[in-house]
Amino acid sequence: MILNENEAKNLLTKVLSYSKADSASASLEGNNTYNIRFARNSISTNGFSDGLSVRISSSIGKKTGSVSTNKFDEASLKNAVKMSEDIARVSPDNKEFMPPLGSQTYLNAVNFSENTESLKGEDRSQKISYIIDKSVSSDVTSAGYMEDEVTFIAIQNTSGLFAYNKASMAKLSSTVRTNDGTGSGRFERNYVDVNKIDGNSVADWAIGRSKLSVNPGEIKPGRYTVILEHAAAADMLNLCIDFMGSREADEGRSYFSKKGGGTLIGEKIADDKVNIYSDPADVNAPSVPFTGSGEPMNRVVWFENGVLKNLHRNRYWAEKTSQPAMPYPSNIIMQGGTKSVDELIAESEDAVLVTRFWYIRTVDPKTMLLTGLTRDGVFEIKNGKITRPVKNFRFNESPMNILKNIITLGSSEKAVGAETDDYPIYVPAMKVANFNFSSLSDAI
Amino acid sequence: MALPGAVFANSIGGSVLNSTNSNTVPRHRAYDDDYIKKAADTAIFTAKNNGASYCDFRLSNFRSQNVSTREQIIQSIRDNENFGFAVRVIIDGTWGFASSSTFSEDEVVRITKIACTIANANKSIQRNKVELAAVPVYNETWKTPIKKNAFEVSIDEKVNFLFGVNEKAKSLGADYCSSFIWAVNEWKYFASSEGSYIKQDLHRIWSAFDITVVDKETGNFESRDSFTAPIGKGYEYVEEYDYMKDIEEAVEHTRMKQKAPSVQEGKRDIILDSNHLWLTIHESCGHPTELDRALGYEANYAGTSFMTTDKLNKLQYGSNVINIRGDRTQKDGLATRGFDDDGVKTTEWDLIKNGKFVGYQTTREMARFIGENASNGCAYADSWDHFPIQRMPNVSLQPGEKKLSLKDLIADTEDAIYIKGSGSWSIDMQRYNFQFTGQEFWEVKNGKIAGMLKDVAYQGNTVDLWNSCDAVCDKTEYKLGGSFFCGKGEPGQVSPVSHGSSPARFRKVKILNTSKEAGE
């Protein structure tokens, strides 16, 4: 269920009117979500979900309790507020309690599109129908997913804060496998505006990639120059940001901790070409301009010309360490160059092209060592051309090694990695030296 | 359109019970059985009137309570309740699904009609019509046999317990300690157009801690998670587990790990403890024996499987000491319940028998693809607004039949690494190539534990690993491990699942040095 700003404000005001706590905040979230899933060149499951829920956090002194519910009759709301207060009352003092924020100013949001809100059932069917029909006529098998939704979030507290954001998101993805089981291609797109998804074009590309990747040969595992396409680069960037917590670094248990104490902020720890920032109002990767507690999200530079500029930290840690509060970013943007992936290939003498990654996990937080696999097309490049498809690899590599070993950045685009989900990332394809492939995988 | 009686009206016999001020009374208790049954009958009636050949109605209430602490600080106390219903229909062999968090007469009718509209809209792109395996009709109730309801234990008691855990760790020399208690109560009412009415009340709990020891001068830090397991029990699990022993060992062993020698890479024998092996079973046997994966239904998200249908009853998956069963009736299992979300009574069956691949996990929709007439009951939806899909039952390695304790196994081993606890894990999209780490790595030399190692990962191929297993300890060593969060499906769903095993030995497995892998 989508409430407009006034409706949300009225409901939150009502919820907070039941509060007997020293301070309280309430947040509403609602959604209208449609999805269609397909596999084996046919529709499989689908659904529509209409949801609305409220979370109430009550504080008595430095004790806080939170309760969420999706029942909105008066008795249930009163009960939820009372329950959050009861939880707070029986809790010990939270030594890291921070008082609620007062009224805030937010960037203008650009994360809603009427095109997505007005999408019809036949529009969804048409997008999927093209992929399925083209897969059948191309003698390949596709599986995929389309989802479009409108959501809203509204936050109000007893100190005068109110925040509201209505958002939309449309996503389409498909994995295309050749019928002999030796080739695979995949695309995934998500945009605020459904009209930005050129489903037919990306489906054609994925079908082409599946055929290009059939019967892969072997390259010996080892360290190679790689071209990471956008989806692969997005995963590395996203996971790197995950590690960039200020508190862990200050406490000496992070890659970003300095030996002997302190952090690496201000030090050049990546290649000169690395410039990474967050900005919810950037149209290339728009996001909600506030956090779940109503803290404003503004433009923050994380890396500038390879120098680490900031680490993210909550309000408590910021106050304790006399540093600025820096919420976990709601999007990531990395400046790229001008070259397309094809141009990066054309200028490469000896490299491996990686389309995507899969199942990435942390092996060692000290070195930020990650493991995972390649998928949906790995190709040998010799003298500026793709010469043959090669088998998938398991890699063991640190995203910071990647940021240190950049040779060339391609142009940036909105990308979805294996582990990024809906997190907005605008990232360049990257040509990187010395990437560590640990072993081969027979998986397609 | 006529309805089957004025459902939801108090005068018909169903009633909305008075709402209560008690914090421990779950939402679904606001409605009595007659009221809910009439809602289900309304959905089924409406669906049939709109052309559906099948309909099921699922009303669910998901409660969770999470108390998280760090040192003597509360990180969060959260009590969530998520209540709603879903209607699933089949029209001309095409599914339609819709759901809502508003439970009222008008909404049940509206949502059922939306489900029918979606099914009709998607018929044109349906190439494989849905056919469901037959299922008997049930009118039953099932409940997790808990001793102590975690939702009836005060927050205060939980916080004090966790603070005690953290304090103990700090007093022993840990620099940081976090801990939590997470309780879940999943209540479900299922009714189908075939005549079943099933009510279930499921409980599970997870309580864990992790400690970190830091040497700021060298920048060296090491961590260790508790060896607790999420489990299908009540609060009695928290009271029965020996936390103090686990904390003492965690701190002592983490300090040892800081000073331990880095492992030499190469082929080594490994002994995997139950508190590690559960995850290896999950990733390399639980997932590849999911029939929907093998058929390609998960190709766009969770992946496919190397265990394709042509390999059923042919593939020698492991050595002849390997027997792995799927079981949704297993005592204390996270995936244990009376019925699945297709309304199928749960059961147990062989997946791997004497090393041979002999079975899949199925749903009513999938069973026919391998010529089965019945589902083995693996449909599950993690929320009222999600479509039930094939999810993993408890998948467990059966203990060895010959008497063999862990002590006996170590005594019988010349040179190996004994791995405890689950660390990092990753496996490819067809479940061939894996890499796992753990929490503790002990070197075994000439039948004895010789000391601790660090920087250990093992890597290999699923079939090679299970065929290299030459010993599984007996049932006296059998323990459950598991996860609250096995991910699958689009939109993404998580399911809870347990895996039982006794420690087992694997020969000549590829060992990596993770420090060298990072280029250090």
Q: How far is it, in rounded angstroms, from Cα A132 to Cα A138? A: 10
Interface test with B, best of A73, A77, A151, A366 (most B CBs within 10 A): A366
Say if the Cβ atoms of B219 and A252 lie within 8 Å: yes
Interface test with A, best of B81, B216, B300, B386 (most A CBs within 10 A): B300
What's the confidence (pLDDT) of residue B12? 27
Nearest by Cα to B429 from A437, A370, A444, A393: A444
Per-residue pLDDT tens digits for B185-202: 999 999 999 999 999 999
User: Is residue B432's pLDDT more than 60?
Assistant: yes
pLDDT-derived band at B6 (thresholds 50, 70, 90) equals very low
Window B:442-481, CB contacts with A under 8 Å: 455, 457, 459, 461
Nearest by Cα to B327 from B348, B358, B346, B345: B348
Nearest by Cα to B518 from B457, B427, B460: B457
**Cα A192 versus chain centre, distance:** 14
pLDDT-derived band at B519 (thresholds 50, 70, 90) equals confident
Residues in A closer than 8 angstroms to B77, CB to CB, are 64-66, 87, 91
Mean pLDDT confidence for B263-284:
98
CA-based nearest residue in chain A for residue B427 = A359
The single residue listed with the structure tokens 């930005």 is A196
| Burial of residue A264, with CB atoms counted within 10 A of its CB: 0-12 exposed, 13-18 middle, 19 or more buried | middle
Per-residue pLDDT tens digits for A199-257: 999 999 999 999 999 999 999 999 999 999 999 999 999 999 999 999 999 999 999 99
Cis peptide before A428 (omega within 30 of 0): no
Interface test with B, best of A29, A36, A37 (most B CBs within 10 A): A37
On average, the pLDDT of chain A sits at 96
How far the first Cα of chain A sits from its last, in Å, is 41
pLDDT-derived band at B21 (thresholds 50, 70, 90) equals very low
Mean pLDDT confidence for A321-339:
97
Q: How far is it, in rounded angstroms, from Cα B420 to Cα B216? A: 27
- Determine the distance in angstroms separating the CA of A269 from the nearest CA of chain B, rounded to an integer: 16
Q: Name the residue type at position B71.
A: E
CB atoms under 10 Å from CB of A222, counted, come to 11
- Determine the distance in angstroms separating the CA of A180 from the nearest CA of chain B, rounded to an integer: 13
For residue A18, give every residue at least 6 positions away whose Cβ sits within 8 Å of its Cβ, in sequence order, or none.
A77, A78, A81, A82
Tell me the two tokens of residue A141: 């098998």
Mean pLDDT confidence for B145-153:
97
Per-residue pLDDT tens digits for A380-423: 999 999 999 999 999 999 999 999 999 999 999 999 999 998 99
Per-residue pLDDT tens digits for A176-190: 999 999 999 999 999
Burial A99-124 (b: 16+ CB within 10 A, else e): ebbeeeebbebebbbebbbebebeeb
Say if the Cβ atoms of A73 and B19 lie within 8 Å: yes
Can you tell me whether residue A380 is helix, strand or coil?
strand
What's the confidence (pLDDT) of residue B217? 77
pLDDT-derived band at B25 (thresholds 50, 70, 90) equals low
Tell me the two tokens of residue B332: 């204390």
Say if the Cβ atoms of A438 and B435 lie within 8 Å: yes
Residues in A closer than 8 angstroms to B154, CB to CB, are 90
| A-B contacts at Cβ under 8 angstroms | 290
CB distance A436 to A392 below 8 Å? no
Say if the Cβ atoms of B73 and A94 lie within 8 Å: yes
Interface test with B, best of A56, A93, A210, A363 (most B CBs within 10 A): A363
Q: Which CA distances in Å does B240 have to B165, B278, B484?
A: 14, 21, 20
For residue A368, give every residue at least 6 positions away whose Cβ sits within 8 Å of its Cβ, in sequence order, or none.
A240, A243, A255, A362, A398, A399, A400, B518
Mean pLDDT confidence for B358-371:
97
What's the confidence (pLDDT) of residue B24? 55
Tell me the two tokens of residue B468: 């290299």
Mean pLDDT confidence for B18-44:
75
Tell me the two tokens of residue A177: 């496998």
Per-residue pLDDT tens digits for B215-228: 877 878 999 999 99
Q: Name the residue type at position A295.
A: E
Element (H, E) at A419: none
DSSP 8-state code for residue A101? P
Query: What is the pTM assigned to this prediction?
Result: 0.92
How far the first Cα of chain B sits from its last, in Å, is 73
Of A94, A173, A371, the CB nearest to B300: A173
Mean pLDDT confidence for A251-279:
95
Residues in A closer than 8 angstroms to B76, CB to CB, are 66
CA-based nearest residue in chain B for residue A136 = B127
